[in-house]
Structure 1
Amino acid sequence: MQKRDRLVRLNLQKHGLLVLVGLVCILYWQKATGLYFLLQLKPITIWLLSNLKAAIKTSMTEVIFNPIFYGMTAAILLLERLFPVEPKQKTFSIGLLQDSIWLLGSFVMRFCWIAPCTMGIDWLYTKLLGNWGINLPQLLALPDWLRFILSIIFADFVTWLSHLLMHQHSFLWRFHVIHHSQAQLNLFTSLRVHPGEMLLRYPILVLPWYLFAIPYPGQMYYIFFYNWYGRFCHSGIRCNMGWLKHIFVTPQYHRVHHSIELRQHNQNYGSLLTIWDFLFGTQHHDTQDYPGTGIDDPQFPIAQKFTLPSVVRTYWAQILYPFH
């Protein structure tokens, strides 16, 4: 059984990498082509400024002036105090302050990179592919609710596969290790994602919405849920969700994935569903295990002081870490 699982994972890594590389090449090509036409309409400086303006506006509406953000954040912090994995870890730890900087950086990255890619993908489907993809009669004939569920399942598999590849290939791991470096897991650790990782993973994740013709409101509902569910699973809450742990990723399940212990490396890659780890033999079966987290690298830059200048300097040091 172990030999079969190893063979399955090896083949999945080989073919999975080819699939992802092919998708990324297509997306990069169409992005460059799409932006070429886009930049004929407005100078590049205006385009960049408009994206920066959109990033600032979104940060205002999604965080600074959004009561839902504060309510959800307060609820997760309260649950961390009521059911802590590490009772000695402070609620407002250095780790939380550090990842708050990554939260702010994520808004800029979203509109400097993800938004252009999304526009490029939309251009590819609407201008080039014609009846291939979003206009498949077989897909459009399905009920809206079924297409929405299938798109979520497909998106979750693509996320799982790209996550596995980030761990299995040394070059990709140099970027993904930033996410795993947090020894004090908190709700904003899910946003500790290096821009180099975004180049591979984020653009392809919008493909299911176009493939299954999911309208904009449906996409936004799922993204809202997915973002907050990721924050919940990265939090320091001692919780495995009872019988739901057999279907959905839990804080305990994902904590094992972040384990600093060698015996637990390369397990529990799931983001929402546990089915993919179960099928491909990468699931950790002890649902009561709450290991320590982080990476074993004394050279990795970590903030030493609970001050804003310290964590900002550390943020830029972590951005540069993959290139050292």
Structure 2
Amino acid sequence: MSTKYLPILLWVFVGAVAAAIPFGVLIGDPVLRQLLAPFSLHIANEKAIYSPAAYFVLLTACYLLERKMPVNPRDFLSASFRYDLLWYFGNVCFNLAFLGYFALWLNAFYQHYLSFLSIGGVGDWHPMARFALGVLLTDFTRWLSHLIRHKVPAFWAFHAVHHSQTELNIFTDARVHPVDTMVSTAIRFLPMMMFGNPVPVIMAWLVFETVYPKFYHANVRINLGPLRYLLVTPQSHRVHHGLDRIYRDKNFGFTFSVWDRLFGTQFADDTVYPATGIEGKAFPHESGTTPRSQLRSFARQLIYPFRSIAQPGVSSA
């Protein structure tokens, strides 16, 4: 077989495994099955929420875009790409072990202690109205919390892990510290609950918010034209990951770019594609290309935020 087909075969394997494992989590975890049960009496119909085939198609589309119109051309399965795959599978394991239970705990906590935040009379509203308002409030609170995580040193210590990638790719969205994941999950759940959205509906939105960031983290030279005034794009989010602070203090949006435009945090130039990553010798940047060295870097980055907070004079973003 010609070696020119090797990257294609490798991608089919990597993409298929990456797409199949989360579905296995959904149908294999009894807690998540309980969360998703209201959608259907049959577990097979949970594909309406998460389809491995659809996810694989999306991953493949992003992969092809990266090959056809990259910001920085690079070899397939580069060391940085493999390292983000490690974070991806690590986060899948974390989600399987904890996130379903955390979602249930959030729901119970809200019902017992924060139910006074619920908007009165929303039960009579059309479900789509509750969903749309919940999405808008969720996206705004995520934008605000994202800005705060850049400004408060202790929060930045965890969020810096995500910004450490120098070669953005479709799996960079998974380079997130578990503590950062839990904070983000809470912020996404609570505003949706205020408008009376049931947990399964919230979970469905979480799936979308898991999929779309893969596109805008991709190594793709595209800004979506007029859609950039509404949505976060690969270009605008790359600016946010920029190595220079003039970029990193801009473009905090998650799904919609409207909040950055309303509050003056949108970077004006929508044609720039800066180098990405973070500076500083204190951060344990990944080193080496062997599985052993990458596992060592993975462990160090998991520990880094706690060590950083424990030390005086933690630097801000």
Interval of TM-score (by shorter of Structure 1 and Structure 2): 0.7 to 0.9
Deviations 1:172-222 (A, max 9, x none): 111111110000101111111112323433223201232112234432332
CA contact 2:137–2:192 (8 Å) conserved in 1: no
2:120 aligns with one of 104, 113, 136: 136
Q: CA deviation at 1:163?
A: 0.5
What's the offset of the Cα at 1:154? 0.5
Matched, 1:54 2:40: no
Classify the secondary structure of the residue corresponding to 2:266: coil
Deviates further, 314-323 or 118-127: 118-127
Alignment partner, residue 274 of structure 2: 291
| Contiguous gaps of at least 5 residues in structure 2 | 1-25, 34-45, 309-317
Which residue identity does 2:87 align to in structure 1?
A: W
Query: What is the CA–CA distance in structure 2 between the aligned matches of 1:127 and 1:156, rounded to whole Å?
Result: 24
Question: Structure 1's 307 and 168: CA in aligned 2 closer, same or farther, altered over 3 A?
Answer: same
Equivalence for 1:78: 64
Identical-pair percentage: 33
| Contact 1:102/1:192 (<8 A) preserved | yes
* Residue 81 of structure 2 corresponds to residue 102 of structure 1: no
Equivalent in the alignment of 1:117:
102
**Is 1:67 aligned with 2:53?**
yes
Question: What is the CA-CA distance between 1:133 and the residue it aligns to?
Answer: 4.7
Q: 1:202, 1:126 → 2: CA distance?
A: 17
Distance 1:120 1:79, change over 3 A: same
Structure 1 counterpart of 2:153, which letter?
S
In the TM superposition, what is the alpha-carbon distance from 1:115 to its structure 2 partner?
2.7
Tell me the TM-score normalised to structure 2 length. 0.76
CA RMSD of aligned residues (A): 2.7
Question: Would the alpha carbon gap of residues 135 and 297 (structure 1) be closer, same or farther in structure 2, given more than 3 Å must change?
Answer: closer
- Kindly indicate whether the alpha-carbon contact (under 8 Å) linking 2:161 and 2:177 is maintained by their aligned counterparts in 1: yes
1:317 and 2:293 aligned: no
The residue aligned with 2:203 is 220
Query: Normalised by the size of structure 1, how large is the TM-score?
Result: 0.74
The superposition leaves residues 207-252 of structure 1 with CA deviations (integer Å, 9 ceiling, x where unpaired) of 1232112234432332222111111111101110010001111000
Distance 1:258 1:149 in 2: 28
Q: Could you tell me which amino acid in structure 2 is paired with residue 102 of structure 1?
A: W
1:149 and 2:99 equivalent? Answer: no
Q: Match of 2:254, as an amino acid?
A: S
CA distance in 1, matches of 2:169, 2:138: 24
CA drift of 1:106 comes to 1.1
The answer to whether the aligner puts 1:181 opposite 2:164 as a matched pair is: yes
Instruction: Work out whether residues 77 and 91 of structure 1, in 8 Å CA contact, stay in contact via their aligned partners in 2.
Output: no
When residues 121 and 199 of structure 1 are mapped into structure 2, their CA distance, relative to the original with a 3 A threshold, is: closer
Looking at structure 2, the residues matched to 195 and 126 of structure 1 have their Cα atoms a distance apart, in angstroms, of 24
Q: Aligned partners of 1:263 and 1:219: how far apart in 2?
A: 34
SS in 1 for 2:29: helix
